[in-house]
Structure 1
Amino acid sequence: MNVHKRKIFNPASGAIVMALGIFLQGAMNHFLNQTAGRWFVFAYLLLSIAIYSKLFRQVFQKGFLTSLLKNPVNSFVLGSWIAGFSVLSIVLERYLPLLHFMVAALAVVNSLLWVMFLYICFMNFKQLWIRPAFHATHGVVLLSAVATQSVVILWNELFPSLPDIFSLSAFALGGLFYIGGLILIFKRYLETDWSLTEDWTNTNCIIHGGLSITGLAIVSTKMFQGEILLYYWMLVLMIFCLVEGLEVVRAIKRIRQKGWRKGVFSYNVSQWSRNFTFGMFYAFTMVMHENASYKKHLYDFHEHFLSLWAWVVLIALVIEIVLWGGEKVIKENVKGEQGIY
């Protein structure tokens, strides 16, 4: 007797929309002009529709949302849905302006979803603070900050006449979410035994990704002057190097223990968070570089950095797409072999 279990579409798949969108918004400008880029944006739109239709269909399946919200750490993956919608809206507004009214409606819906997400954040941050050692907290909690700052950037892009109090309040809230999440992550790793190869997660790259999107929000809202932002960018670069330095050590250890394929080249949806953070650091630097207020600071260095980093973002994205495609091929082959018997 065959029992068919309902297949769950990974709720963290919003990270795919985030990662691809931030590449189109930022690093792709280094390789293609806007006219050529529209073809990729159109494909991105179709993929985003496919992903979100699967995600939202699951919301109405019995038990899905309840089981997700019961886990005070994993529930923060809903922030990837918000950030994905924000990035999708900004990309469509820039490349397909004829869709402006549809994009504006999407931005309003996303803002309402963000308000509901805030309740989840407050509820689950409270649980994590009460029992910090009980849950294996990791970088996914920082999606609370990423989602919030993405909404700030979205409002500035699509609703520039919105009173500043809205953007400033949301920006401050995003900052608080980041600080709170970072403290919880530190408490987890400082107060429990853990292994770099098994317990350091892909989502911890959001430690620097959250800072990058906050920097992009600062530039977009023109909140600080050039010199302050320059120091902030240098801080982000330093944190980036520290976190990714740990990732290099982790990769070496995993290769020694498990080999190349299982150690670093096996697909996991959480890996898209790294593509997002790499692309976000590029977008933050690019917008800062293009802004007249910051051109006197490290202009030549940023010019060379962006040329190099665009390739890093592209190569990392191609690798992830290949891993993603390879995983699907393997699953299809396994299904085919099972069907023989």
Structure 2
Amino acid sequence: MLSIDKLKIINPAAGTIVMAIGIFLFSAMDAFGLQEGLRIVLVVAFFMLGMVIYTLLTVQIFRKGFFYSFIHNPVNSFLVGSWIAGIAIICDVVMKYFPKFYLITQLIAVINSLIWICFVILCIYHFKQLFKKYHVYTIHGVLLLSAVATQSVVISWFQAFSRVPLPLVVFMVSLGFSFYVVGVVFISLRYIASTWTLADDWANTNCILHGALSITGLALVFSQLLSSSFMTVFWVIVFIIFIFVEGIEIGRAISRITKYGWKRGIFTYHISQWSRNFTFGMLYAFTLALHSALSEGSLLYRLQSVFLKVWAWVVLGLLVVEIVLWVGARFQREKLLEKSSV
């Protein structure tokens, strides 16, 4: 028999699942011309999935020893950022498809903002810890969830409320970008100051190097803090960083296939893979939001038009692959649990 302690365990990074699926529903799904009824079904299913994940996370918070890894490893504490970003994206999706539920969405956004305040205090404390002992811990892109969570809260405000104070937006966007810069410094130190291999030590979460910039760009588009010319330059920079990081990812995939084979190398499920789905979807969302503000005759407008048509399929394809891997991993786990209970 399985003990109670082995039941209802959910990975603290499960918020990334909500982030990845939510950003697809919020942006890229519109590219496929789905019927309204089907879109509503998908959104409701997503909302129910989100509620299940956050219910299990809430229950697990009160389990003995849950916070042990957060206290003793400051890197792990940044996973809380995925919870905040996931809740924010739920708000975005609900407001897009069910705008009449704005009071509920506003309540969730306020509660999420209060959670974010606690998270920021935790981030600052653990950034200080990492400054003292950055060489002790395995640092990777999860640190950038501090920036992602901050910008996601800003975007949810613009979705849930008719007016957001400009000074508050400036502060939040600046703080989120500051978190990004600090995170990049620590990630750079991790790979400069230690010996590592591309196949085994380049983390899935490092794709947030461009994803955190994409969500920053989306927050800037919604807030209209900067000119369209500046935002165009910013998008180009984000796209260049995307090409650079994903170029490393392609090299990593080749290295892992060579070393471990196709299945173990790239087709074995790991929850951190959802971060890539989120970052690809966020690049689409940022591009789509900026695209509508550009002049139709400009070269970048035409290039982005082609990019959006292609990228929507890329986002969908990767999401389908990840869901298949997720379902397969759960099926294997259930079989193992059945065998162990005999």
Letter of the 1:13 partner, please give it.
A
More displaced stretch, 204-213 vs 64-73: 64-73
**Could you tell me the TM-score, scaled by structure 1's length?**
0.96
Residue matched to 2:268: 266
Q: Give the alignment partner of residue 302 of structure 1, picking from 297, 300, 304.
A: 304
Residue matched to 2:30: 29
What is the aligned-residue RMSD (CA, Å)?
1.6
The 3 A distance-change label for structure 1 pair 225 and 68 is same
Residue matched to 1:171: 173
Q: Report Cα offsets for 1:241-276 as digits up to 9, x if no partner.
A: 111111111111111111111100000000000000
Residue matched to 2:202: 200
CA–CA separation in structure 2 for the residues paired with 1:72 and 1:327: 28
CA–CA separation in structure 1 for the residues paired with 2:64 and 2:251: 42
Q: Give the alignment partner of residue 63 of structure 2, picking from 42, 46, 61.
A: 61
CA–CA separation in structure 1 for the residues paired with 2:2 and 2:165: 59
Letter of the 1:159 partner, please give it.
F
**Could you tell me the TM-score, scaled by structure 2's length?**
0.96
Aligned residues: 340
SS in 2 for 1:298: helix
Deviation at 1:161, TM superposition (A): 1.6
1:18 touches 1:87 (CA, 8 Å); kept in 2? yes
Structure 2 residues without counterparts, runs of 5 or longer: none
CA–CA separation in structure 1 for the residues paired with 2:46 and 2:271: 17
SS in 1 for 2:261: helix
Q: Give the alignment partner of residue 291 of structure 1, picking from 290, 293, 299.
A: 293
Q: Give the alignment partner of residue 141 of structure 2, picking from 136, 139, 142.
A: 139
Residue matched to 1:9: 10
CA–CA separation in structure 2 for the residues paired with 1:157 and 1:297: 30
CA–CA separation in structure 2 for the residues paired with 1:296 and 1:86: 33
Deviation at 1:225, TM superposition (A): 1.0
Q: Give the alignment partner of residue 90 of structure 2, picking from 88, 98, 106.
A: 88
Does residue 251 (structure 1) correspond to residue 253 (structure 2)? The answer is: yes
Q: Report Cα offsets for 1:278-337 as digits up to 9, x if no partner.
A: 000000000111225787461111111100000000000000000000001111122223
CA–CA separation in structure 2 for the residues paired with 1:153 and 1:297: 28
SS in 2 for 1:320: helix
More displaced stretch, 29-38 vs 104-113: 29-38
SS in 2 for 1:193: coil
Q: Give the alignment partner of residue 117 of structure 1, picking from 116, 119, 132.
A: 119
Residue matched to 1:70: 72
Q: Report Cα offsets for 1:64-115 as digits up to 9, x if no partner.
A: 1243233100110000000001111010001012322111111010000000
Q: How does 1:211-250 map to 2 (within 5 A)?
A: 211-250=213-252
Letter of the 1:29 partner, please give it.
D
SS in 1 for 2:67: helix
The 3 A distance-change label for structure 1 pair 164 and 270 is same
More displaced stretch, 128-137 vs 181-190: 128-137
Deviation at 1:6, TM superposition (A): 3.8
Residue matched to 1:18: 19
CA–CA separation in structure 2 for the residues paired with 1:92 and 1:104: 11
2:296 touches 2:302 (CA, 8 Å); kept in 1? no
Q: Report Cα offsets for 1:154-198 as digits up to 9, x if no partner.
A: 112222422111111111100100000000000010011111111
1:226 touches 1:294 (CA, 8 Å); kept in 2? no
- Indicate the percent of aligned positions where both proteins have the same amino acid: 46
Letter of the 1:14 partner, please give it.
G
More displaced stretch, 208-217 vs 25-34: 25-34
The 3 A distance-change label for structure 1 pair 291 and 38 is farther
Letter of the 1:15 partner, please give it.
T
1:41 touches 1:91 (CA, 8 Å); kept in 2? yes
Deviation at 1:9, TM superposition (A): 1.2
2:228 touches 2:293 (CA, 8 Å); kept in 1? no
CA–CA separation in structure 2 for the residues paired with 1:91 and 1:295: 31
The 3 A distance-change label for structure 1 pair 2 and 208 is closer
The 3 A distance-change label for structure 1 pair 101 and 293 is farther
Does residue 332 (structure 1) correspond to residue 337 (structure 2)? The answer is: no
